[in-house]
Amino acid sequence: MATVTVKIPTQLRDATGGEGSLQIDGDTVGGALEALFTAHPELRSRLADDDGNLRRFVNVYLDGEDIRFGDGVGTPVADRQELQILPAVAGGR
Amino acid sequence: MAATSLICRECASTYPLEAQFVCTKCFGPLEVAYAPHPSAGDRDAIRRRIQAGPRSIWRYADFLPLEAGSPVGAGDFSSDGGLPAGGTPLVKADRLARRLGLREVWVKNDAANPTHSFKDRVVAVAAARAKELGFSTLACASTGNLAGAVAAAGAALGLPTYVFIPADLEEQKILSTGVYGANIVTVRGNYDDVNRLCTEIAGEREDWAFVNVNMRPYYAEGSKTLAYEIAEQLGWTAPDRIVAPIASGSLFTKIGKGFQEWIDLDLIDGVGGAAPKVPVMSGAQALGCNPVAAAFEAGQDVCRPVKPDTIAKSLAIGNPADGPYAIELARKTGGTITDVTDDEIKDGIRLLAETTGIFTETAGGVTTATLRKLAESGRIDPQERVVLVITGEGLKTLDVVRGTFEVTEIDPRFEQFENDVESRTEVPV
């Protein structure tokens, strides 16, 4: 099990008691997110849809690389890597 | 149409009209919601009010999210009101139409904006709203044109500016930004890296107005003015089709929204007895950065991000946030989203220049090449009235036209003129 740093965007910090950076264990991005949701349950509904998939305007980066360039939530993580959650900057129509 | 709130496009939660772009409940994008137009039902009154306004986007201030309305009055050219964006020419491009076998092609030349791209429209709205909200610093993540627009707007309004751009941007775009006194930060990475950094900075530094991050709901509304202008210039009608570039997808979708709003207010007349409708929307991307075109062609709703590799750097957004909405709009209007190669882009720049006298940057090359492709493949009915949206200026991407034409050098002697120039010149038919 690896320990990664998860960076929480300002918009979600009310659900983490104001914490912007958390140490979370996991083997994959999905595993780390699951552990994050267990520690801070309110994050689950805000980041994932009813089927448990990440919502479409949620971007997740592992050491700066969008996880969709890897294996998505199945992307393996290693100790000391940084997992960053950010909202997509949309607003079209 | 006074703005009333920000509303989440995904879950409809509402928020006050502040510098916020994302729904904290579901991470969906926020958009501006408006009260009904006070003169709804009286289209003549609304049209008269528009026509009495300034010759800039501010004639459409009733449809933009500012508390105080237009920052300038008609005939007021004070720089305190910011740069006069909009009011760009709509040119009937007969020679281009003939070349493509189409009946009626119009070119909306938004390179005629103050800093030579359509970005002046969105920045004008974002900057005006930022002033209303009391911000004292403007910033942006940019592929180049936005940087210039923000820098110039800041210069006009007297606000310091910070622009973040990819380190490999065209030199012309960096030079034409730095001249305004902007603080330029080049980021080692592509635009998507710049955007990610700026999203983080905007969250951590709440006293900065990032026009395309925390000010995005206001910024994006500025693109609607392209639709309004086209409709007004076409005598209160809509064209059959719009061909426009797609980077984030925001401009494309806002053009559709602009037409829809005016149709709802009965401001747009139908043509030939038909009811008015939103034009068929054709989106244009470069093959080297085509996440929206690829998703559209594959019948998908979600764009898979790509790593851009194209000469069309102003369209090089590999992770287009508004991609899903652009796809939705193209499908709803019976439109298309397609891509063109870098060679086709260069040919597109030449085609537009040679047939209209309008020199566009690579983004306009993408758009023109897309129009040509649609025309040649029969995907456009030759009887359609088409508007080609040219978003930027050729002088900003000069390098790509180098080597695409020949120059004849001679001694200053008449015989050489006769031998080397006259005898080789083909007389145009």
Chain A residue at shortest CA distance from B24:
A11
| C-alpha atoms less than 13 angstroms from C-alpha of B77 in its C-beta half-sphere | 2
Is the Cβ pair A89, B325 closer than 8 Å? no
Query: Comparing B72-76, B174-178, B283-287, which segment has the lowest mean pLDDT?
Result: B72-76
Give the model's pLDDT for residue A92. Answer: 47
What is chain A's alpha carbon radius of gyration, rounded to the nearest angstrom? 12
Segment B311-331 mean pLDDT: 95
Closest residue of A to B221, CA-based?
Answer: A92
- Region of B82 (left: φ > 0; alpha: ψ -120 to 50; beta: rest) is left
Asked if the Cβ–Cβ distance from A91 to B321 is below 8 Å, we say: yes
For B104, counting Cβ atoms within 10 Å of its Cβ (0-12 exposed, 13-18 middle, 19+ buried), the class is middle
Query: Domain ranges in chain A?
Result: 2-87
Picking from B192, B196, B322, the nearest residue to A92 by CB comes out as: B322
- Measure CB to CB from residue B24 to each of A11, A55, A66 and give the nearest one: A11
Chain B residue whose CA is closest to A49: B26
Residue B9 to residue A93, Cβ atoms within 8 A = yes
d(CA B43, CA B184): 46
Q: What residues of chain A have any CB closer than 8 angstroms to a CB in chain B?
A: 7, 9-12, 14, 46-47, 55-59, 61, 64, 66, 68-69, 84, 86-93
Give mean pLDDT, residues B139-155: 96
For B304, the closest chain A residue by CA position comes to A68
Q: What is the pLDDT of residue B427?
A: 58
Nearest one of B126, B162, B171, B89 to B395, comparing CA atoms: B171
Contact B252 A92 (CB under 8 A): yes
Q: Do residue A89 and residue B302 have CB atoms under 8 angstroms apart?
A: no
The tally of CA atoms less than 13 A away on the side-chain side of residue B178 is: 10
Domain ranges of chain B: 1-34, 90-116+223-401, 121-218
Tokens of B193: 């890296």
Task: Kindly state the average pLDDT of the residues B349-378.
Answer: 98
- Measure the CA–CA gap between B189 and B52, rounded to whole angstroms: 46
Predicted confidence at residue B118, as pLDDT, reads 97
How far is it, in rounded angstroms, from Cα B375 to Cα B382?
8
Q: Which of B103-112, B164-173, B219-228 has the lowest mean pLDDT?
A: B164-173
Q: Rounded distance, CA B174 to CA B196, Å?
A: 20
- B168 in helix, strand or coil? coil
Nearest CA distance, B397 vs chain A (angstrom): 26
Minimal-distance CA residue of chain B relative to A45: B26
Domains B90-116+223-401 and B121-218 share a fold: yes
Please give the CATH number for the structural domain made up of B121-218. 3.40.50.1100
Tell me which of B348 and B81 has the higher pLDDT. Answer: B348
Average pLDDT of B56-66? 97
Residue A93 has pLDDT above 50, yes or no: no
Give how far B123 is from chain A: nearest CA, Å: 15
pLDDT attached to residue B428: 58
Residue B80 has pLDDT above 90, yes or no: no
Q: Collect all residues of chain B within an 8 Å Cβ-Cβ radius of residue A66.
A: 192, 305, 319
* Dist CA B83 CA B153 (whole Å): 6
Q: Measured between alpha carbons, how far is B346 from B365 in angstroms, rounded to an integer?
A: 6
The closest CB to that of B27, out of A7, A58, A84, belongs to A58
pLDDT confidence of B424, banded at 50, 70, 90? Answer: confident
Shortest alpha-carbon distance between residue B227 and chain A (Å): 12
Taking residues B223-227, what's their average pLDDT?
98
Checking if the pLDDT of B97 tops 70, the result is yes
Identify the pLDDT of residue B234: 98
* Residue the block writes with tokens 């003129």: B417
The share of chain A scoring above pLDDT 70, in percent, equals: 97
Structure tokens at B381: 């009915």
pTM: 0.95
In this structure, the number of other CB atoms found within 10 A of the CB of residue B206 comes to 12
- What integer pLDDT is reported at residue B426 of this predicted model? 67
Domain A2-87, CATH among 1.10.800.10, 3.30.565.10, 1.20.1050.140, 3.10.20.30: 3.10.20.30
**Nearest-Cα residue of chain B relative to residue A61:** B196
Q: What is the pLDDT of residue B81?
A: 87
Q: Which residues of A touch B199 (CB under 8 A)?
A: 9, 86-87, 89
> Smallest CA–CA separation between A52 and chain B, in Å?
13
Architecture of domain B90-116+223-401: 3-Layer(aba) Sandwich (3.40)
Q: What are phi and psi of B55, to 5 degrees?
A: -85, 60
Q: How many CB atoms lie within 10 A of CB B95?
A: 12
Cβ of B249 within 8 Å of Cβ of A92? The answer is yes
Percent of chain B exceeding pLDDT 90 equals 91
pLDDT for A63 beyond 60: yes
- pLDDT for A91 equals 58
pLDDT of amino acid B317: 93
